[in-house]
Amino acid sequence: MKVVDSYSRVVRLGEGLAATGCLSEDAMGRAITALQACAQKMLRRPLRRILAVATEACRQAGNGAAFIQHARDITGLPLRIIPAREEAELAMESCTPLLRAGDRRALLFDIGGGSTEIAWIRREGGTASLIGYVSLPLGVVTLAERANLCCYTPKGFDTVVDEVAEALARFDRVHCIGQEMRAGGVRLMGTSGTVTTLAGVALALPRYSRPLIDGKVLDCEAADQALRDLFALGRDGLRSHPCVGPERADFVLPGCAIYAAIRRVWPSSCVTVADRGLREGMLQRMMREEGAAPRRPPFTARHAAAPLS
């Protein structure tokens, strides 16, 4: 696969969702602006197929479906809201190439803006399949917006860890994941801005570098120390940190609290860091299906994927 163009913007689509149950006008405006930029980039190339999806924020929002229809009308992109299981399957598809010989299971976590997805994966004969998944309505944006909760204080941070760990423990009891991890052959994998930031800090990178992060097997003790270092920085320090920056400073510690809960429920000696996820899974699925199907005539507008969350 050769990437010919890439575009990413932090739109915070789920901003205010927890309080109102709906997407806000400002958030929808930011998302539409970003989607228009994506559409303009796509129209410059001879596309055969477009896959564009929306995830948890639109699943939760009372006006999520209406927003998606509005976005379709304005941009021409064939957007659709995907269920949590499909989101987990796409993340699995993108990350399973990072598994190694001897890995019979994988526990994949994706800490998003409006939710956290956990995928429990079976690997047999080079093929990965989804055993189970859970989507928790706890993400970095929703937690950052909670009244009377501040992850910048030890008490607030621990409150989030306790809440997330309790929810994860229920999923663990269903699938006996902790028992499987103690038996060996289970790889802990993370795909999200939280875990890639922890890796960047642990490696003391002067600036974030995807080639140095994607597929990195990070010692969990080093990741835990990176978490402590980020917590000690405070808001101003996070804004100026080269692996964080002002756009993401408010969301790093809520993400770290979710990561700490994952570590509490499922202790592991290392975590594989994936700077890949939903978008790469979409691309891989399209290329696989394209290879199996008759070639289609080109759109007037090659393959393009646009996830929205």
**Contact (CB, 8 A) for 130 and 120:** yes
Q: What are phi and psi of 190, to 5 degrees?
A: -130, 135
Rounded CA-CA distance 78/44 in Å is 17
* Predicted local confidence at residue 307, as pLDDT: 66
Rounded CA-CA distance 187/162 in Å is 23
Rounded CA-CA distance 54/223 in Å is 30
Domains of the chain: 17-81+279-308 (3.30.420.40), 85-276 (3.30.420.150)
Local confidence band at 298 (pLDDT 50, 70, 90 cut-offs): very low
pTM of the model: 0.86
Q: Which residue has the tokens 């890796």?
A: 199
**Contact (CB, 8 A) for 123 and 133:** no
155 Cα distance to chain centroid: 26
Q: Which residue has the tokens 């003391």?
A: 204
**Mean pLDDT throughout 145-171?**
89
- Residues 96-142 have pLDDT tens digits of 899 999 999 999 999 988 889 999 999 998 789 999 999 998 899 88
Q: Which residues contact 61 (CB under 8 A, 6 or more apart)?
A: 14, 17, 21, 22, 23, 67
Rounded CA-CA distance 207/92 in Å is 28
